């Protein structure tokens, strides 16, 4: 290897149309502009089949994106994996499903998860399939605790999904069966925190879903319409609500009930899973809770056994880049802030917690602030840059990687001015990394895991609205090396081609199962 490599992942930064809704172009980014004008570069597919999702209509996300970046391969992921298990019946033949369904015949079955067809955390079609199978197997009582999206789907689309679900529940009810929505709230207000950034969100979800504590409404539709009128919030930010009949919650989650978290993505599923699963849980007071039969759609962390029971076996990802580099004795460094720390470690390493080789790898997490991202769009970009440059200066590592979360996390807020500033902060970091590369002798590769900041608006039928979801746009791949004139070969590439390119630059041999190198 002629020189060490730094990989910079600009989370949520794709190639947009260059219009007024493209915050990447609207921002002042002299460093990124210079790199794109002067350096070898191409654009990578970062969604759909390129990252193991069912179709090219499916948006990429940070989890499958980092799996592909760190593994050099494409695996069936998320929605596709669950969809296959439902279609072939293996989910319903699993011992976990059979145990929960049998238990619920004398108790109740509860479903918690994100209600949309965004295919990033969940899919409403999976929930409907589970509900229908529960009815077929004799479950008399089933209740849905819905988390409103507006992030991976249009910002105010919740009523469409609620209507679809209510129709299914009505058809399954009657003849002694009660199938209903019991509680809910916006995904950024209750239940779906990640990386222990805000346990208060999870506690609020627990109070809402389990204890039935909260503002009561006659229906989910009533709750959504009332909150919208009172607060003006988009779906992801709507407060928690409890559905009531005659002044009493439709259904609390009682001790001994069966509970399924139907999200398939892991990052925002782990904390609520721990609250249900762990006897020694101490993050908040669970009241008189003694336990339920709980399962996740997938196991969200295999090494940490979160949760203990799950419906669908996750993909077993082997031959990761980290395994290859550790096998060659290459020293590694990874850094990001809490919001994306798991992406450059756990997801990067093929859904594996911990390290492949403690002696060769150093990971550094910078705690994220618990504050709305639009209020502090710089996030921890300054600190990430400082830590990365410090690691470069040490000369200790031959492969370094970092993730700047700004384009994605601020992009999800839909606040254009904040996203523009976020991009300018990332660009400032890029400039400092390039300066350090020149000073200390590094090659720098720059890419992203999916788009977001590049498409902040949608225009349909002449009406423009705020977009908070990921985009389907390709992402850049740039090679900065002042000493070598690299040539990117002709071809169509995706995120899984990055790892083979890194290995080729290092003079190592890639596993046969990997995609091709771009150089």
The DSSP string of 156-193 is: T-HHHHHHHHHHHHHHH-BTTBEEEEEEEEETTTSS--
Are 302 and 296 in contact by the 8 Å Cβ rule? The answer is: no
Tell me where in the chain the CATH 3.40.720.10 domain(s) lie. Answer: 5-77+316-505
> pLDDT at position 302, please?
65
Q: Hey, which residues does 217 pair with through a beta bridge?
A: 243
Cis peptide before 307 (omega within 30 of 0): yes
Note the pLDDT tens digit of each residue in 287-306.
999 999 999 999 887 657 89
The dihedral through the CA atoms of 293, 297, 299, 300 has a sign that is negative
Those residues with Cβ within 8 angstroms of residue 212's Cβ, 6 or more apart along the chain or in another chain: 182, 183, 242, 249, 251, 252
Per-residue b/e over 486-500, b at no fewer than 16 CB within 10 Å? bebeeeebbbbbbbb
How many helices (DSSP H) and strands (DSSP E) are in the chain? 17, 18
Q: Pick from 103, 513, 516: which is nearest to 316 by CA?
A: 513
CB atoms within 10 A of CB 33: 13
- Percent helix, strand, coil in the chain, to 5, is 35, 20, 45
Please report the pLDDT score of residue 260 as a whole number.
98
Class of domain 5-77+316-505 as given by CATH: alpha beta
- Quote the tokens at residue 443: 């090659």
Angle at 428 between CA 423 and CA 434, to 5 degrees: 125
Q: In 10 A of CB 303, how many CB atoms? A: 12
Nearest residue to 158 (alpha-carbon basis) of 250, 78, 226, 220: 220
> Rounded to an integer, what distance in angstroms lies between the CA atom of residue 110 and that of residue 293?
10
pTM: 0.78
CA distance 308 to 329: 34
Residues noted as catalytic: 62
Give the chain's residues under pLDDT 70: 302-303, 314
pLDDT at position 459: 85
DSSP code string of 265-313: -STTTHHHHHHHH-TT--SS--TT----EEEEEE-SBTTTTBSS-EEEP
Q: How far apart are CA 222 and CA 456, in angstroms?
A: 29
For the segment 73-111, what is each residue's pLDDT rounded down to a tens digit? 999 887 888 999 999 999 999 999 999 999 999 999 999
The dihedrals phi and psi of 8, each to the nearest 5 degrees, come to -110, 120
Find tokens 């990802």 and name the residue. Answer: 317
Burial of 372 (0-12, 13-18, 19+ CB in 10 A): middle
- 262 within 8 A of 182, measured Cβ to Cβ: no
- Which residue ranges does the chain devote to CATH 3.40.1450.10? 79-312
Instruction: Write out pLDDT tens, residues 301-321.
Output: 765 789 999 999 767 799 999
Residues 6+ apart with CB under 8 A from 289: 210, 255
Whole-angstrom distance, CA of residue 283 vs CA of residue 280: 10
**Which is the CATH superfamily of the domain at 79-312?**
BPG-independent phosphoglycerate mutase, domain B (3.40.1450.10)
Q: Supply φ then ψ for residue 18, to 5 degrees.
A: 80, 5
Give the tokens for residue 432: 């400092």
| Distance (Å, whole) CA 364 – CA 341 | 8
Alpha helices in 239-320 (DSSP H): 270-277
What pLDDT was estimated at residue 303?
55
Nearest by Cα to 167 from 154, 155, 180, 176: 180
Our CA dihedral for 471, 33, 403, 201, rounded to 10 degrees, sits at -50
Tokens encoding 353: 């917690």
The gap between the terminal CA atoms of the chain, to the nearest Å, is 15
């Amino acid at each position: 290897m002629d020189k060490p490599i730094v990989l910079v992942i600009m989370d949520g930064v794709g190639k947009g149309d260059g219009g007024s809704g493209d915050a990447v172009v609207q921002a002042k980014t002299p460093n990124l502009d210079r790199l794109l004008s002067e350096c070898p570069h191409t654009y990578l597919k970062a969604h759909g089949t390129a990252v193991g999702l069912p179709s090219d209509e499916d948006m990429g996300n940070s989890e499958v994106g980092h799996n592909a970046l760190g593994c050099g391969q494409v695996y069936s992921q998320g929605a596709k994996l669950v969809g296959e298990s439902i279609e072939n019946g293996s989910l319903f033949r699993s011992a976990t499903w059979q145990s929960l369904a049998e238990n619920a015949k004398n108790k109740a079955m509860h479903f918690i998860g994100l209600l949309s067809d965004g295919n990033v955390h969940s899919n409403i079609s999976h929930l409907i399939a589970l509900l229908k199978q529960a009815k077929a197997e004799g479950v008399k009582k089933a209740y849905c605790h819905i988390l409103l999206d507006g992030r991976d789907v249009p910002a105010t689309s919740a009523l469409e999904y609620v209507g679809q679900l209510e129709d299914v529940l009505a058809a399954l009810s009657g003849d002694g069966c009660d199938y209903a929505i019991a509680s809910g709230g916006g995904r950024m207000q209750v239940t779906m925190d990640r990386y222990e950034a805000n346990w208060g969100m999870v506690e609020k979800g627990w109070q809402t879903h389990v204890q039935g504590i909260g503002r009561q409404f006659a229906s989910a539709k009533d709750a959504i319409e009332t909150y919208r009128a009172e607060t003006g919030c988009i779906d992801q930010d709507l407060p928690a609500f409890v559905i009531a009949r005659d002044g009493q919650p439709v259904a609390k989650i009682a001790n001994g009930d069966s509970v399924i978290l139907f999200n398939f993505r892991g990052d925002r599923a782990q904390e609520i899973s721990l609250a249900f699963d762990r006897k020694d849980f101490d993050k908040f007071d669970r009241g008189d809770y003694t336990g339920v039969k709980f399962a996740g759609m997938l196991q969200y962390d295999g090494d940490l056994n979160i949760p203990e029971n799950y419906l669908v076996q996750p993909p077993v990802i082997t031959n990761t880049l980290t395994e290859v580099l550790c096998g060659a004795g290459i020293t590694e460094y990874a850094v990001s802030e809490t919001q994306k720390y798991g992406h450059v470690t756990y997801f990067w390493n093929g859904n594996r917690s911990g390290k492949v080789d403690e002696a060769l790898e150093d990971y550094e997490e910078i705690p994220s602030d618990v504050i709305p991202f639009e209020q502090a769009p710089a996030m921890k970009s300054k600190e990430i840059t400082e830590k990365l440059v410090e690691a470069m200066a040490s000369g200790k590592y031959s492969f370094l990687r970092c993730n700047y979360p700004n384009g994605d996390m601020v992009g999800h807020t839909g606040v254009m001015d904040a996203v523009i500033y976020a991009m300018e902060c990332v660009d400032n970091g890029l400039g400092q990394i390039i300066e350090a590369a020149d000073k200390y002798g590094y090659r720098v590769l720059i890419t992203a895991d999916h788009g977001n900041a590049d498409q902040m608006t949608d225009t349909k039928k002449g009406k423009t609205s705020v977009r908070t979801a990921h985009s389907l746009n390709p992402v850049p791949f740039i090679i900065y090396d002042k000493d070598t004139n690299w040539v990117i070969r002709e071809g169509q590439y995706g995120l899984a081609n990055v790892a083979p390119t890194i290995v080729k630059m290092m003079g190592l041999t890639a596993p046969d199962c990997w995609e091709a190198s771009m150089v």
